Structure 1
Amino acid sequence: MGGDFAPEAAVKGAILAAQELQNEEQILLIGKEDVIHSLLKEYGYTGKNISVVNASQVIEMGEHPTKALTQKPDSSIAIGYGLLKAQKAVAFCSAGNTGAMLVGAMFSVKAIEGVLRPSIASFVPKLRGGFGVILDVGANADCKPEVLEQFGELGSIYAKYVLDIQNPKVGLMNLGEEEGKGTVNTQAAHQRLKANEIVNFIGNIEGRDLFNDKADVIVCDGYTGNIILKMAESLYDILSEKGIQDSFFDKFNYEAAGGSPILGINGNAVIGHGVSSPRAICNMVLQAQKMAASNISERFKKNYSA
């Protein structure tokens, strides 16, 4: 029920995604049952890959996240995380209230033991094809060196098992390539990543390295990452306004990935853009399916239990 074009976009997107899934895979549409059934009928869906779970309450986009989750336990976000926690769903996606999605992740399924701060990740198109992963992009504006080091680990595991990049190269976003450059935090994070045997750390990278093959995993605090992400989205918007079409810049469109995964929690969760279209919803669901198929959450747990 969340998102600027909900519930129509969510239902249309689920129908598109259902066409891509295996027969045994199910999409659970959580929301007002009568509304969803009416839309499924209107759009002519007769398949067996979509089920409906009733949620009588809706968290609006402008509501305070913590208050909304507390006061609306029968909302689609609260029920979605409940299903994820009870392992009755392998992934949960929403284009609804971003704050409520983050609060739900932290206080319902919670962070994996050993993870200092779960991160929101996003994807960076590469000039030679494929995508890299950048984290954090908004959940953690200020990060201590040990948190940045852990982002390198989380991103590396995600890149290997979900993006199929063997031995992913990890770079620390900085204002210069030299080891001594940057803030006190990035200098300390550089030393920690350099000594970390889990990641393939290649050193500092600069903004101009974002789209080349220097790094597959780009580590930064959420303040920096969010600015990078929004700037990339604006490039796509500018080119669209000027009528310029290019296959590489088409990958800057938020619809291509569909959403941003929350990494480091007990389960698979993806946050969609508030303006998500049916195509974006479809790609968000397929991304969540790939995360579940790769068993990424369990891989994180195994790394930190070790």
Structure 2
Amino acid sequence: MKIAVDALGGDFAPEAIIEGVAAAVKAGLPEDVTVVLIGPESVLSTQLVAQGIAGHAAIELVHADEVIGMGEHPTKALSQKPNSTISVGFKLLKERQIDAFCSAGNTGAMHVGALFSIKAIEGVIRPCIAGFVPQLNGGTAIMLDIGANADCKPEMLAQFGELGSIYAKHMFGIDTPRVALMNIGEEEQKGSLVAQAAHQLLKDSRRINFVGNIEGKDMFMNRADVIVTDGFTGNALFKLGESFYEVATQRGLKDEFFDKTNYASVGGSPIIGVNGNVIIAHGISSATAIQNMLNLAIRQVQADAHTKIAQALK
């Protein structure tokens, strides 16, 4: 298994990236896992020496000397910078030289790069970005979309329910994941015209275990394993949830649940609905976040969820 990491992606790259990779290596990666670092070889070599893992058997280097900045236009940057770390990463993923590609860099470039290289799974209307939502009972729910598609048609939301259900089944080992639609009320007739139409499509689907609408207050209450919403609402809710850790920290509160709302605890968000494993991390990712991002990528490759989604949609 080869997990590629963009060494120049993120606000604190390359130091935080290499430190996170080093922490994962020192903690003990599975024997069959190799981390492929993409970036300027001289810079990477210097950083690896500083972290005490130079020449480690679990590390490979791939040279790329350009970087796509956070503020650059994704499509234009990908075409104008073929030797950027993100462009090179997707080239390797498309050629199946790696099993997953992870980056804390430009989110738009990661999303567009995935669509241009490994492409959407046949039958997927719009790939989406998923977020992991901790539950008070100790479990985890997956919420999608959390930012890729701000405006969604009912058919897209209904398909998010199916994509999330398949992912949750194979990633979390849940036989019949509970799928819920985020709405402004539990009643079937509540919400916008899009939400009402999506509710009916989800209700009529025989492929999922739809449990109805949930409200914002239910997000952490173990009401669902899959939370369906548009990318605008999902992004706002997800980032509100992530703020709980910062609020608790500033107020001197130490709590196991609040710790799980820390963005670094999972480390990244997968793009669901493409022909491969792509993980997007926060631009502010710390070394801990990068370490956890690697662990997430390894679990996702093992789960082979994207293949299961493709098979289901056939």
TM-score (norm 1): 0.98
Give the superposition deviation at 1:298: 0.5
1:91 aligns with 2:100: yes
Q: Percent identity of the aligned residues?
A: 54
Counterpart CA distance in 2 for 1:21 and 1:159 is: 24
1:13-92 matches, within 5 Å, as 13-18=20-25, 19-46=27-54, 47-92=56-101
- One-letter amino acid of the counterpart of residue 283, structure 1: N
Counterpart CA distance in 1 for 2:168 and 2:28 is: 22
Instruction: Give structure 2 stretches of 5+ with no counterpart.
Output: 1-7
Give the superposition deviation at 1:261: 0.4
Counterpart CA distance in 2 for 1:159 and 1:183 is: 27
Instruction: Give structure 1 stretches of 5+ with no counterpart.
Output: none
Give the superposition deviation at 1:141: 0.5
Counterpart CA distance in 2 for 1:37 and 1:24 is: 22
Which of these residues, 94, 102, 105, is aligned with residue 111 of structure 2? Answer: 102
Partner of 1:181: 190
Counterpart CA distance in 1 for 2:306 and 2:96 is: 12
1:247-266 matches, within 5 Å, as 247-266=256-275
* Partner secondary structure for residue 148 of structure 2: coil
Partner of 1:207: 216
**Worse overlay, 283-292 or 19-28:** 19-28
* Partner secondary structure for residue 162 of structure 1: helix
Which of these residues, 251, 259, 271, is aligned with residue 242 of structure 1? Answer: 251
Give the superposition deviation at 1:49: 0.7
Partner of 1:159: 168
- One-letter amino acid of the counterpart of residue 8, structure 1: E
Give the superposition deviation at 1:149: 0.4
Partner of 1:9: 16
Give the superposition deviation at 1:246: 0.5
Counterpart CA distance in 2 for 1:190 and 1:80 is: 38
Counterpart CA distance in 2 for 1:138 and 1:24 is: 33
Partner of 1:290: 299
- One-letter amino acid of the counterpart of residue 40, structure 2: K
Which of these residues, 228, 231, 240, is aligned with residue 240 of structure 2? Answer: 231
Give the superposition deviation at 1:15: 1.5
Deviations 1:182-206 (A, max 9, x none): 1111111111111111110001111
* Partner secondary structure for residue 220 of structure 2: coil
Partner of 2:137: 128
Counterpart CA distance in 2 for 1:17 and 1:263 is: 25
Counterpart CA distance in 2 for 1:184 and 1:134 is: 21
Which of these residues, 143, 148, 155, is aligned with residue 146 of structure 1? Answer: 155
Counterpart CA distance in 2 for 1:161 and 1:17 is: 24
CA RMSD, Structure 1 to Structure 2 (Å):
0.9
Counterpart CA distance in 1 for 2:170 and 2:32 is: 22
Paired residue total:
305
Counterpart CA distance in 1 for 2:268 and 2:33 is: 20
TM-score (norm 2): 0.95
- One-letter amino acid of the counterpart of residue 33, structure 1: E
Give the superposition deviation at 1:119: 0.5
Counterpart CA distance in 2 for 1:127 and 1:203 is: 20
* Partner secondary structure for residue 109 of structure 1: coil
Give the superposition deviation at 1:17: 2.1
Counterpart CA distance in 2 for 1:72 and 1:60 is: 11
Deviations 1:205-264 (A, max 9, x none): 111110112111000000100010111122211111111110011000000110110000
Give the superposition deviation at 1:165: 2.0
